[in-house]
Amino acid sequence: ALAVDPDVLLLDEPLSALDIHAAPLLRRLLKRVLAGRRAIIVTHDVLDAYMLADRVIVMEEGRITEDGPTRDVLRRPRSRFAAGLAGLNLVSGTVTSAGIRSAEGLEFAGQHDAPLVAGQAGVAAFPPSAVSVFLSEAHGSPRNSFRVTVTDLEPHGDQIRVRAGELSADVTPAASADLGLAPGLAVYFVVKAAAVSIYPA
């Protein structure tokens, strides 16, 4: 593909079938080879996007839902799909004086770096690693504490990802065992307001 020096190089999931040792080597090679070239890369791997792309376009069901500089889109996603790629929880709702209120009535307090207008559409984003899991309501009345039902548990690197519908938390295997986590169990997800980013939808 490179031998003819194309104006645009099209790569569809170029690293998807590689083992864990070959993928980083090829990713570094592609970064060198693509410097100064135009390329369109289709990927579901956020690391590929961060390492290889200047701009990102997120497509859902055949439609563009987000586009812009890679770091901007993945740092502040506005769609659940893009948030999933970026590894973030995303809650859509309406801006309130305290933060965001979801359609289900959950209130999220958080940080914002631009003025928000009460009543406008907004989102709250936070990493699963910022979520603590408790069997009973946490002491001290944290601002972001929600009773949820565990829907799934899955390995995630050296952690266990605890899913509760659209929200997720990362805990250690030991913590998962100590809490007796299993699908159907009611728990509390707690996240500090300092870990929640709130911005316009």
For 70, residues 6+ apart whose C-beta sits below 8 A from its C-beta are 49, 50, 53, 54, 55, 56
Range of the domain at 182: 128-191
Tell me the pTM: 0.80
Q: In this structure, is residue 148 part of a structural domain?
A: yes
Rounded to an integer, the average pLDDT of 8-22 is 89
Is residue 176 situated within a structural domain? yes
Number of domain units in the chain: 1
Mean pLDDT calculated for residue range 51-75 = 91
Residue 81 lies in a domain: no
Residue 71 lies in a domain: no
In the chain, DSSP finds a helix count (H) and a strand count (E) of 5, 15
Is 167 contained in some domain?
yes
> What pLDDT does 142 receive?
63
- Which residues neighbour 109 within 8 Å (Cβ) at sequence distance 6 or greater? 98, 99, 143, 144, 193, 196
Q: Within 10 Å of residue 105's Cβ, how many Cβ atoms?
A: 7
Q: Which residues partner with 125 through β-bridges?
A: 90, 197
Cα separation, 146 vs 91, whole angstroms: 13
Whether 93 maps to a domain, the answer reads no
Q: Within a domain: residue 5?
A: no
Q: What CATH number corresponds to the domain at position 143?
A: 2.40.50.100
Percent of the chain scoring above 90 in pLDDT: 59
Q: And the tokens for 67?
A: 């586009």
The band of 183, judged by pLDDT with boundaries at 50, 70 and 90, is very high
Tell me whether residue 136 is in a domain.
yes
134-177 pLDDT, tens digit each: 999 877 666 799 899 999 999 988 999 999 999 999 999 999 99
142 residue type, one letter: P
Q: So what's the pLDDT on residue 116? A: 85
Pair of tokens at residue 74? 């993945």
